[in-house]
Amino acid sequence: MRLRAHRYLPMAINCKQLLLLLLLLLLLLLSVSFISSMTISVSEENLLLDFKSSIEDPSSSLSGWSSNLTHYCNWTGITCSFSSPPSVTSLNLQKLNLSGEISSSICQLPSLSDLNLAGNHFNQPIPLHLTQCSSLVTLNLSSNILWGTLPDQIAHLSSLKELDLSNNHIQGQIPQSLGALVALQVLNLGSNWFSGILHPSTFSNLSDLVMLDLSKNPGLTSELPMEIGTLGRLKWLLLPSSGFYGPIPESFLGLHELQVLDLSLNNLTESIPFGFGLGMKKLLSVDFSQNKLSGSFPSDICDGRALLELSLHENLFDGSIPESIIMCTSLQRFQVQDNRFSGFFPSGFWSLPNITLIRAENNQFSGEIPDLVGALSRLEQVQIDNNNFTGRIPQGLGRIQYMYRFSASVNGLNGILPENFCDSPLMSIINLSHNSLSGSIPELRNCRKLVSLSLAHNRFTGRIPSSLAQLPVLTYIDLSSNNLSGEIPQDLQNLKLALFNVSYNQLSGPVPLSITDGFPASYLQGNAGLCGPGLPNSCNELQTRRKSKTNALMIALVAIAVAAALIVLSLTFFALHKSSKRRQNAWKSMFFYPLGISQDELLMALDDKTIIGRGAFGIVHLVELPGRDFVVVKRLISSGIVSLRKAKVELKNLAKVRHKNLAKIIGFCYSDGVLLLIHEYVKRGSLGDALLRPKILLSWKVRLQIALGAAQGLAYLHKDYLPHLLHRNVKSKNILLDEDFTPKLIGYGLDRVIEEASYQSSMASDLGSCCYIAPESGCSKKATEQMDVYSFGVVLLELITGRPADQPDSRESLDIIKWVRRRINMNNGSFQVLDQRISNSSQVEMLAALDLALQCTSALPEKRPAMAEVVRSLHSLHDIVEPPSLIFNGELPSTSS
């Protein structure tokens, strides 16, 4: 037994040893796994600290990123996975005022799927190493100062679902390789400096895309690829304020999931594809505004009944709005102003249950505003100025709870004003001027928020309501050119008025002191019976005159001599009355945009001090408006101004010219053959002047941009605007430069308001213009598009050579065409004519432009290209627009204000 026990003893020891061994092994395993977990943690932490070390953090937002404080998964902006060990999945450091370098270390975080550095100040090219972060699902670098191009290698981020690079300074073409990111759902490249064309294939495979935003990239001069219309999941398509041109592809009809479509502020042409809206049941907002779209109203736009907002304004749409629009029961905002719509404005539209905004001004709508508009309406703002609306102001107007602006000037509204027309508690602006309204102006007691009341140029009679004085914020009152009588209520002086115009009425009696003191006398003129300091009648005189008139009457009963005196007096009075009537008719005005000042104030401003230029057709004044805005008033000096009736028709049409390269006509004043044209003010003066200033050197890119803009303006006049227009006076002095050097043509349309013979004689008197005139215009009287093309070619030569078109004092005394042609016949002559101050790197483009300018200035009109062709050729040269800071190599031109 002992022996057996002895035999088993070593065996027992072995078991113990085995147990110990196992225990040791376990411990070893545990410590290995602990050490390995420690290694991962340490390396992720180090990677983050490395990332931090290259970042500038003035707000100490990342001060908690320290290994001594907490585990890195709890650091600001970090999210980790729940795995063991935990690993960083998301880095969200938006809006922390960070700058510096985005280090490559973050791409070594193996599980990083979301990287958000939006709203910081990173100022560097898009780091190429970010394209190595292959696990990224979301990359948001928006609202920084990233620059350079978007690298092709972006295609390596094959898991990416959201890419947001908006609001940076990224340049160059949108890389075609983006099309490889087939998982992409959100692509936002808005507000950058991308340029060139959109390659169609970029979009063919992005079938998961839900949101595409390329807005505010003005250099993206491209047609809209039809492939975008195949993105069947697209909900948001945002392409406003870029350079898109051409038609809207038919394929867009297939975007059945679309909710928001914004194509505004581009150069899109042709009509909206027929059937647009059919089957698009989810449409909420559609914006086609500020393009050159034409054709009819998209009558299926409300097929889905969900539409909240429709904007078609500032286009060339025509035809009428179909009655079916009343199916748009959810519609809230409707903007069709500044088009050529006509026909009856659908009456059911006014009672749409949710409509808050109707803007339809500057069209030719007719019809009446029905009385239905009333208590249940949610209308807040109605602007239907400058149309052909007729009928009465509806009774229900004053019952609309939320109405704050009602503007229906320049229409044919008639009848009396309903007693309650201003009862809406929020009503702030009422403009019913230039209509045929009559009767007395009701007392206004309830619109306590009324700021501006314009009832000018109507047929109102009776007294000025004294209740106006009870409206605490009333600031602008224009009651001019009516038949109002009686006295001006004295209490009005309690108001803080910025405008009080009652000229050309039949008011009488003393004018409240603050009004004679505070406003120009022109606001009171045309009221023979008013008296007060500064007016033709002093009140004492008037009273004495009245007394003596009574006495004379009494004496007249008994004395024939006095009766004779009375006759003389009445004759004088008659003469006075007649002259006042004549003065009343002196000026007729029409403003197509609100100026904030009255006709009389405008006229008063036209003195020598405001003259800023003189041309062949007249003198140019610069007039300041309230709020530091300006307009330019050109007083036409010509014996051949057309009649008021014709001027009105022509200018109403010219005011519908809408193009960013044509200075707007804002209004006009007319009196006995004198015409004042009111224009948009363009700040930087003319191109002609800019080229003459020796210290200014416009870079080639800017010159090209100016040429392209001017060509686009002309092409619009020739082909897009109806009826087609010729400019007839294209020259560098008639191309003005806006703040950002956008060119704007002035001087178009003058031949519409000046008789032909006078127009031609004014043109002939302007010697500075003769080198812009096509050679054939001497023989053929009729102006043609080709003559405009010739003149444009001369301007293009000025831009290429840096020489003014006409240099009478130069040694060679040649006009620019002869000068260029002589030189290019010499050896290597083409190079010699290029402006030598511009860098050689632009030579190829300049030579191509020279070739185009020579075609435009061909002696044979039929050899000249059409303006649309010129635009295309310049487009092909104009790929990258430089940021404004690179525009000038010399002194910046001052603004003339």
Ligand X SMILES: Nc1ncnc2c1ncn2[C@@H]1O[C@H](COP(=O)(O)OP(=O)(O)OP(=O)(O)O)[C@@H](O)[C@H]1O
860 vs 837: CA distance, rounded Å:
32
Pick 431 or 686: Cβ nearer ligand X: 686
Residue 576 is encoded by which pair of tokens?
């006075």
Pick 210 or 622: Cβ nearer ligand X: 622
Under the binding rule (CB under 6 A), the answer on residue 332 touching ligand X is no
Pick 383 or 686: Cβ nearer ligand X: 686
Under the binding rule (CB under 6 A), the answer on residue 616 touching ligand X is yes
How many beta carbons lie within 10 A of that of residue 897, not counting itself? Answer: 10
Pick 599 or 732: Cβ nearer ligand X: 732
One symbol per residue from 754 to 793: x for binding ligand X (CB under 6 A), - otherwise; what is it?
------------x--x------------------------
- Are 813 and 807 spatial neighbours (Cβ–Cβ below 8 Å)? yes
Minimum Å gap between C-beta 616 and ligand X is 4
Give 412's strand partners.
Answer: 390
Residue 388 is encoded by which pair of tokens?
């052909």
Residue 175 is encoded by which pair of tokens?
């890389």
463 vs 483: CA distance, rounded Å:
9
Under the binding rule (CB under 6 A), the answer on residue 682 touching ligand X is yes
Helix and strand numbers (H, E) in the chain are 15, 45
Under the binding rule (CB under 6 A), the answer on residue 685 touching ligand X is yes
Amino acid at 524: L
Residues in the chain: 897
Minimum Å gap between C-beta 626 and ligand X is 19
Minimum Å gap between C-beta 737 and ligand X is 9
Give 140's strand partners.
Answer: 116, 164
Choosing from 264, 335, 598, 686, the residue that interacts with ligand X (CB under 6 A) is 686
679 vs 196: CA distance, rounded Å:
33
Choosing from 333, 634, 701, 727, the residue that interacts with ligand X (CB under 6 A) is 634
How far are the Cα atoms of 73, 101, 343 from residue 42, in angstroms, in the given order? 12, 22, 76
For 249, residues 6+ apart whose C-beta sits below 8 A from its C-beta are: 224, 225, 226, 228, 229, 273
Residue 746 is encoded by which pair of tokens?
């002035």
Pick 402 or 630: Cβ nearer ligand X: 630
Nearest of 852, 847, 846, 854 to residue 873 by alpha carbon:
852
Mark the segment that binds ligand X (CB under 6 A) among 58-66, 265-273, 293-301, 615-623.
615-623
Under the binding rule (CB under 6 A), the answer on residue 166 touching ligand X is no
Minimum Å gap between C-beta 167 and ligand X is 32
52 vs 286: CA distance, rounded Å:
44
Under the binding rule (CB under 6 A), the answer on residue 520 touching ligand X is no
Mark the segment that binds ligand X (CB under 6 A) among 378-386, 652-660, 709-717, 730-738.
730-738
Choosing from 406, 519, 681, 741, the residue that interacts with ligand X (CB under 6 A) is 681
- The SS3 call for residue 392 is coil
- DSSP one-letter code for 289: -
Under the binding rule (CB under 6 A), the answer on residue 632 touching ligand X is yes
Pick 292 or 679: Cβ nearer ligand X: 679
Chain centroid to CA 138: how far?
33
Mark the segment that binds ligand X (CB under 6 A) among 354-362, 374-382, 681-689, 804-812.
681-689
Mark the segment that binds ligand X (CB under 6 A) among 12-20, 84-92, 253-261, 728-736.
728-736
- DSSP one-letter code for 718: I
Radius of gyration (C-alpha) of the chain in whole angstroms: 37
Size of site (CB under 6 A) for ligand X: 24
Amino acid at 347: S
Q: List the interface residues with ligand X, window 111-130 (CB under 6 A).
A: none
Pick 679 or 864: Cβ nearer ligand X: 679
Pick 234 or 663: Cβ nearer ligand X: 663
Residue 521 is encoded by which pair of tokens?
């006398």
Pick 612 or 696: Cβ nearer ligand X: 612
- DSSP one-letter code for 179: G
DSSP H helical segments within 482-538, as ranges? 513-518
Pick 115 or 616: Cβ nearer ligand X: 616
One symbol per residue from 642 to 671: x for binding ligand X (CB under 6 A), - otherwise; what is it?
---------------------x--------
- Are 111 and 87 spatial neighbours (Cβ–Cβ below 8 Å)? yes
Mark the segment that binds ligand X (CB under 6 A) among 262-270, 534-542, 616-624, 844-852.
616-624
468 vs 484: CA distance, rounded Å:
15
615 vs 804: CA distance, rounded Å:
17
Nearest of 311, 313, 308 to residue 287 by alpha carbon:
311
Pick 743 or 747: Cβ nearer ligand X: 747
Minimum Å gap between C-beta 790 and ligand X is 16
Under the binding rule (CB under 6 A), the answer on residue 804 touching ligand X is no
Under the binding rule (CB under 6 A), the answer on residue 488 touching ligand X is no
Minimum Å gap between C-beta 433 and ligand X is 25
Pick 642 or 854: Cβ nearer ligand X: 642
| Residue 634 marked in a binding site | yes
CB-nearest residue to ligand X: 615
Pick 689 or 785: Cβ nearer ligand X: 689
Q: List the interface residues with ligand X, window 855-874 (CB under 6 A).
A: none
Minimum Å gap between C-beta 405 and ligand X is 28
Minimum Å gap between C-beta 633 and ligand X is 9
How many beta carbons lie within 10 A of that of residue 843, not counting itself? Answer: 15
Under the binding rule (CB under 6 A), the answer on residue 679 touching ligand X is yes
Pick 512 or 618: Cβ nearer ligand X: 618
Minimum Å gap between C-beta 833 and ligand X is 25
- Are 508 and 485 spatial neighbours (Cβ–Cβ below 8 Å)? yes
Q: Extract long-range pairs of 851-857: CB within 8 Å, 24+ residues apart.
A: 852/793, 852/796, 853/793, 853/794, 853/796, 853/797, 853/800, 853/820, 854/793, 854/820, 854/824, 855/793, 856/789, 856/790, 856/792, 856/793, 856/796, 857/790, 857/793, 857/794, 857/797, 857/817
595 vs 579: CA distance, rounded Å:
29
- The SS3 call for residue 82 is coil
Minimum Å gap between C-beta 681 and ligand X is 5
788 vs 260: CA distance, rounded Å:
41
CA atoms within 13 A on the CB side of 617: 28
706 vs 685: CA distance, rounded Å:
13
Minimum Å gap between C-beta 595 and ligand X is 14
Minimum Å gap between C-beta 890 and ligand X is 20
176 vs 823: CA distance, rounded Å:
43
Minimum Å gap between C-beta 58 and ligand X is 44
Mark the segment that binds ligand X (CB under 6 A) among 135-143, 602-610, 640-648, 673-681.
673-681
461 vs 480: CA distance, rounded Å:
12
Under the binding rule (CB under 6 A), the answer on residue 734 touching ligand X is yes
Pick 457 or 679: Cβ nearer ligand X: 679
How many beta carbons lie within 10 A of that of residue 242, not counting itself? Answer: 24
Under the binding rule (CB under 6 A), the answer on residue 733 touching ligand X is yes
Beta strands 476-478 and 193-194 are unpaired
Under the binding rule (CB under 6 A), the answer on residue 684 touching ligand X is no
Minimum Å gap between C-beta 795 and ligand X is 12
851 vs 835: CA distance, rounded Å:
15
Choosing from 612, 625, 814, 824, the residue that interacts with ligand X (CB under 6 A) is 612
Choosing from 254, 415, 425, 613, the residue that interacts with ligand X (CB under 6 A) is 613
Give 629's strand partners.
Answer: 625
Q: Extract the annotated binding site for ATP.
A: 634
Could you list the residues known to form a binding site, using ranges.
Answer: 634
Q: Which residues bind ligand X (CB under 6 A)?
A: 612-613, 615-618, 620, 632, 634, 663, 679-682, 685-686, 729, 733-734, 736, 746-747, 766, 769
